[in-house]
Structure 1
Amino acid sequence: MTGHNRSAGLARASRRALTAALVAFFAMQTAAAAQEATAPPADQQPPSLDAGTAFSAPLSPPTPLGKPHDFGAARGTSPDPSEVEGATAAAPLLSPEDPASRFNDALVPYAPSNTLTDGTQSGLEKGAVYLVARLTEGAAQISDGLVWRVYGETPNASGELELVATAMGGDAEFRLDPGAYLIHTSYGYAGSTNRLVVGRGVYSKTVVLNAGGVKLNAALGPDDPLPADDLRFDIMGMNFNAIGEREVIVSGVKPDAIVRLNAGTYHVVSRYGDVNAIVRADISVEAGKLTSATLFQNAASVTLKLVNDPGGEAIANTAWTILTPGGDTVVEGNGAFPSFILAAGEYEVVARNNGVNYSRNFMVVSGENEEVEVLARTETSNVSQFPQN
């Protein structure tokens, strides 16, 4: 294992955040019980919406969320962890809910060699550490998609924890100088940090991640799927910060992508299109299982046309503004045939062409894509003239 090299893809800010989190953890070990989640102000509570359907199935054998590049064998490699999607996003934060160690001391067959990855003989100068990971107690060993990071326990002169070694793949083997280390194991967006004191011996440990996965999709109804290209999902934590915002764990997730997470409850935001078709739901992830959830959208696609007569040709060089009934801007665009995906409801559309505003009201009905025509007629009462410069 090539050691004592910082990962080029691990940003300084991330290392500082990790240091603060780990130092805080050791302080909390002697403190009181777990903190309760901070609730948001009443006016910032998310609406209660239909989360669709969800079911769980065993998560095996998993496929990495982001397929790592070929760095060779799992043992004896020092990859850049940023090459794995989700690896750097799985913050190795420790809390009273995250035990000090998820090491399982059940013996794992391991016979270390006497030769280090740099070709030198180790003898008894270093401790030999062999690590494997499982989703749950008794589950199969994870063979791919893991990122291992070994940190020195004592911050350096810059106040940061020293990154001693990294490995990617399944199992990992490290040769470490005697001392105390913090070993972070990430699997997609799931992660666990464990403390290990190393001497001049052989150490074989199993990390139990207590993690599962989630696969998301959205539809208009049980038999009415939506185009995958128009969908994306954000996965957030359940706690709110001081300004009522949730922690974003991962954003821009595509339909049917498997996202690995620590077991727990998460807040999911489903976005259909780029405007206001948004649905929220809370999803529970179980350790060792894959949770599939479909969120039901209430929206439709609308194509706008400015015409001289009903059914006529669209007028080019038109600027568009879609408003709520209260006059708030929903979206703006330009062109002869702009299309938008809008949440079901009532809207006003304003078309500006050659310095003149033309407008009309229209309704969006879920699942009913339609073409909305605006008549370019100055005799209508809802037309207003822009002041000329």
Structure 2
Amino acid sequence: MPIDTRVLMAVGIALWMPAPAVAQDIPIPSLLDRGVRGVFGGGDKEREPGAYVSPSAADLVPDAREVGAPSLRSLQRFDPIALPADPGQLRAPSIDLPGLPAYAPQNMPSQDMIRSRATLTLEARLTEDGESIPHGLIWRLFSAIPGLDGRPSLIASSESNIANFEVPTGSYILHVAFGRAGLVRRIDFTGVKTREVVVLDAGGLRLDALVSDGSEIDASKLTFDIYTDAEIESERNLVAGDVPPSKIVRLNAGTYHVVSNYGSINALVRADIRVEAGKVTDATLQHRAALMTMKLVREPGGEALADTAWSVTTASGDIVRQSVGAFPSMVLAEGEYVLIAKNRDKVYQRIFEVQSGHNVDVEVLTSSLSDAPDALIGSGD
């Protein structure tokens, strides 16, 4: 009887394929007994090859009740899953967590994304019945709730004359600056389009100075310092320093202590000046000082000698100024001084007087030898 080649191929493939791992527990003879011995004819039954038949999946799957799985029936309710008898196997391992702060912000979307926003319009004036300030304003809007560092967080800022902030409903801290003038105010915004007017109650101060005879002072040698008013000088706070003459300084209305500096030595004038709201206050201070130029010459009107060290002292011997040069210039307050010059290990001396408004050259002759010690002669400016 001819053998069908398709049967031979099926048998060969079945013999060549490795058996799955689950087949290791099945006895080999039982598999051979299930073979198709009639295909190859007679022979030894123990050596007759047989086709591999995979065991049924139902034979390999353990009983569902052994693993605590629910039965394969239509569930009418949620059946509990059986747990192992030993509860110690389910004990969660201990976890060493780092210390957490007392407060941790929630990682949630900002409420500003869901709040409706409206326009808060702010306008500033110097006085209640004055006009709107056209320029020079700086607006800063802070949250009324401080941050984790204890400081209020900046919400928005503007440098327009009229500020428009689109912010949600809430409370805010407003700071508006106009030069050295400023104001801090709390604003409770209801969410409705609102226009608020802020009154700064501020004005301006313009300073200048002259000498006692009415002559003008070189602007490059004149500066002003503005302090808050206080009875004790150590309690005064600096508001503006090194202010040039004729410059308008914007200040809150009130009284200020002004110091005028003519030069950088001892020509100082102090005055208390009151600033009125909505006005520019002009103040001119008067100095009693003069500009002096020092020269060391061999004869009156002669050429100044270079590499000369100078020392200016009061009549009591207190050092006022030290300098080095052929002809240094300095502004000194009215009074009597001693001028000492040192050149080539020789010391020269002269007493001179400063008269307010008289800018002159002070000449020291080389014939005016001095017995003053060298310690009075400085080598620096």
User: Structures share a fold, TM > 0.5?
Assistant: yes
User: Cα offset for 1:356?
Assistant: 2.4
Please tell me whether residue 134 in structure 1 is matched to residue 128 in structure 2: no
When normalised by structure 2's length, the TM-score is: 0.66
Decide whether the 8 Å contact of 2:225 with 2:259 is kept in 1.
yes
Please tell me whether residue 220 in structure 1 is matched to residue 220 in structure 2: no
> Which gives a bigger RCO, structure 1 or 2 (Cα 8 Å, sep 6+)?
1
Distance 1:198 1:250, change over 3 A: same
Letter in 2 for 1:251: G
Letter in 2 for 1:329: I
2:146 — aligned with what?
155
User: Is there any run of 5+ residues in structure 2 with no aligned partner, and where?
Assistant: 1-112, 376-381
1:176 — aligned with what?
167
Instruction: Name the CA distance, whole Å, in 1 between partners of 2:327 and 2:297.
Output: 11
1:345 — aligned with what?
335
Larger gyration radius, structure 1 or structure 2: 2
Decide whether the 8 Å contact of 1:239 with 1:246 is kept in 2.
yes
Decide whether the 8 Å contact of 1:232 with 1:272 is kept in 2.
yes
Q: Deviations over 1:299-336 (max 9, x none)?
A: 00000011122222211001111111222211111110
Letter in 1 for 2:307: N
Instruction: Name the CA distance, whole Å, in 1 between partners of 2:213 and 2:304.
Output: 36
Match of 1:289 among 279, 286, 297: 279
Distance 1:316 1:164, change over 3 A: same
User: When the two structures are aligned, how many residues end up with a matched partner?
Assistant: 265
1:300 — aligned with what?
290
Instruction: Name the CA distance, whole Å, in 2 between partners of 1:253 and 1:209.
Output: 22
1:111 — aligned with what?
none
Query: What secondary structure, in the 3-state scheme, does the structure 1 residue paired with 2:220 have?
Result: helix
Letter in 2 for 1:137: E
Residue correspondence of structure 1 range 19-30 to structure 2 within 5 A = none
User: Cα offset for 1:244?
Assistant: 1.6
Query: What secondary structure, in the 3-state scheme, does the structure 2 residue paired with 1:225 have?
Result: coil
Instruction: Name the CA distance, whole Å, in 1 between partners of 2:228 and 2:195.
Output: 33
Match of 1:261 among 232, 240, 251: 251
Instruction: Name the CA distance, whole Å, in 1 between partners of 2:291 and 2:148.
Output: 57
Distance 1:336 1:165, change over 3 A: same
Decide whether the 8 Å contact of 2:212 with 2:357 is kept in 1.
no
Instruction: Name the CA distance, whole Å, in 2 between partners of 1:226 and 1:332.
Output: 23
User: Cα offset for 1:123?
Assistant: 9.9
Letter in 1 for 2:200: L
Instruction: Name the CA distance, whole Å, in 1 between partners of 2:127 and 2:114.
Output: 35
Q: Deviations over 1:238-284 (max 9, x none)?
A: 1367x824200001111110111000000001111121111000000
**How much is the aligned-residue C-alpha RMSD, in angstroms?**
2.2
Query: What secondary structure, in the 3-state scheme, does the structure 2 residue paired with 1:244 have?
Result: helix
Match of 1:186 among 177, 180, 184: 177
Match of 2:197 among 206, 215, 219: 206
1:311 — aligned with what?
301
Distance 1:375 1:203, change over 3 A: same
Q: Deviations over 1:98-120 (max 9, x none)?
A: xxxxxxxxxxxxxxxxxxxxxxx
Decide whether the 8 Å contact of 2:206 with 2:247 is kept in 1.
yes
**Identity percentage of aligned residues:** 44
User: Is there any run of 5+ residues in structure 1 with no aligned partner, and where?
Assistant: 1-121
1:377 — aligned with what?
367
Decide whether the 8 Å contact of 2:290 with 2:357 is kept in 1.
yes
User: Cα offset for 1:125?
Assistant: 1.1
Letter in 2 for 1:350: I
User: Cα offset for 1:124?
Assistant: 6.5
Decide whether the 8 Å contact of 2:118 with 2:192 is kept in 1.
yes
Q: Deviations over 1:66-110 (max 9, x none)?
A: xxxxxxxxxxxxxxxxxxxxxxxxxxxxxxxxxxxxxxxxxxxxx
Distance 1:138 1:224, change over 3 A: same
Please tell me whether residue 275 in structure 1 is matched to residue 265 in structure 2: yes
Decide whether the 8 Å contact of 1:360 with 1:382 is kept in 2.
no
Decide whether the 8 Å contact of 1:149 with 1:183 is kept in 2.
yes
Distance 1:221 1:377, change over 3 A: closer
Query: What secondary structure, in the 3-state scheme, does the structure 2 residue paired with 1:239 have?
Result: coil
Distance 1:313 1:176, change over 3 A: same
Decide whether the 8 Å contact of 1:126 with 1:199 is kept in 2.
no
Instruction: Name the CA distance, whole Å, in 1 between partners of 2:273 and 2:256.
Output: 5
Letter in 2 for 1:195: R
Letter in 1 for 2:263: G
Decide whether the 8 Å contact of 1:128 with 1:175 is kept in 2.
yes
Instruction: Name the CA distance, whole Å, in 2 between partners of 1:381 and 1:289.
Output: 57
Instruction: Name the CA distance, whole Å, in 2 between partners of 1:222 and 1:309.
Output: 31
User: Cα offset for 1:213?
Assistant: 0.5
Decide whether the 8 Å contact of 1:300 with 1:343 is kept in 2.
yes
2:40 — aligned with what?
none
Distance 1:385 1:258, change over 3 A: closer
Instruction: Name the CA distance, whole Å, in 1 between partners of 2:318 and 2:372.
Output: 19
Distance 1:377 1:282, change over 3 A: same
Decide whether the 8 Å contact of 2:115 with 2:168 is kept in 1.
no
Match of 2:155 among 164, 178, 183: 164
More displaced stretch, 288-297 vs 160-169: 160-169
Letter in 1 for 2:182: G
Query: What secondary structure, in the 3-state scheme, does the structure 2 residue paired with 1:316 have?
Result: coil
